[in-house]
Structure 1
Amino acid sequence: MSLKAELTQAMKDAMRAQDKARLGTVRLMLSEIKRVEVDERIEVSDERILALLDKMQKQRRDSIAQFSAAGRQDLVDIEEAELEVISQFLPAPLSEAELQAMVQSAVAETGAQSMADMGKVMAILKPQVQGRADMTVVSKLVKACMG
């Protein structure tokens, strides 16, 4: 089943269960997918959906940090609930060891010698870790491996 079909089914299940919080978050995800499809006049692939969900997850993390700093626990709770629902549709996160191994493999594969070659390494890693790891963490690991 495609990710879009999975999200549509999750929306129907949330409607039946009258789970308003989950329903709202699933609808947010579907509307973001629909927005991209309409704007770009394309059928969105599962890879692109993962990228969109990853972006939404990052936005929620940023919001949580900002709301926490402002002392708005009510808004933090809402964002955390949305983050939980979004993460259910993403693949399992990579462990630190798996990520380290992937970075070392990509550095060896590209023959990267300096920070100037970082783009080549990141180009290989990005599709492999999309939705499974935070790209800022990946970037730090690449810098540490090359530094």
Structure 2
Amino acid sequence: MSLLERLNSDMKQAMKNKEKDKLTVIRMIKASLQNEAIKLGHDLTEDDELTVLSREVKQRKDSLHEFDKAGREDLVEKLRTELLYVEEYMPKQLTEEELTKIVKEAISETGASSKAEMGKVMSVLMPKVKGKADGSLVNKLVQQHLS
């Protein structure tokens, strides 16, 4: 089942169950996917869909952090709920141990030995973990292993 089919199915179910919050999030995801398809001028590939979903997760996490700092608990709770709904459509996330293993492989593959070569490692690493790991965590692990 493609992502769009899954979203449509879940949207119908959310309407039947009167889950207003979930319905809103699904509609936002669908709108983002459609906007991306229009922008690219073709149907989205799985990779494109993953990029859009990752962007949606990142936006919500950034907003969550800002609202939390501002003490806006009402918005924090709403965003946490939205984040849970968006993450349902993301691939299974890698554990830190799995990610560390992939980081070490990428470092040995590129032959990097200092933080100055971090860009080389990240360019090899990010396509492997796209959508499966948070970019800031990947960045932190690469820095730890290159120091």
Q: TM-score normalized by structure 2?
A: 0.93
Q: Residue 69 of structure 2 aligns with which residue?
A: 69
Say what the alpha-carbon RMSD is for the aligned residues: 1.3
Q: Distance in 2 between matches of 1:13 and 1:31?
A: 18
- TM-aligned CA deviation for residue 36 of structure 1: 0.8
Corresponding residue number in structure 1 for 2:107: 107
Following superposition, the deviation at residue 120 of structure 1 comes to: 2.1
Is 1:28 matched with 2:28?
yes
- Percent identity, aligned pairs only? 37
Give the equivalent residue in structure 2 for 1:5. 5
Instruction: Give 3-state SS (helix, strand or coil) of 2:64's partner.
Output: helix
Report the counterpart of residue 125 of structure 1 in structure 2.
Answer: 125
- Give yes or no for the alignment of 1:88 onto 2:88: yes
SS in 2 for 1:91: coil
- Unaligned runs of at least 5 residues, structure 1: none
TM superposition shift of 1:80: 0.7
* Residue of structure 1 equivalent to 2:135: 135
- Confirm or deny that 1:52 pairs with 2:52: yes
Runs of 4+ aligned residues of structure 1 deviating over 4 Å after TM superposition are: none
Q: Which runs of 5+ in 2 are unaligned?
A: none
Shift, 1:104, TM fit: 0.1
CA–CA distance in structure 2, aligned partners of residues 4 and 121 of structure 1: 33
For residue 107 of structure 1, report the CA deviation from its aligned partner. 0.6
* Residue identity in the other structure for 1:71: G
Superposed displacement of residue 20, structure 1:
0.9
Query: How many residues align structurally?
Result: 147
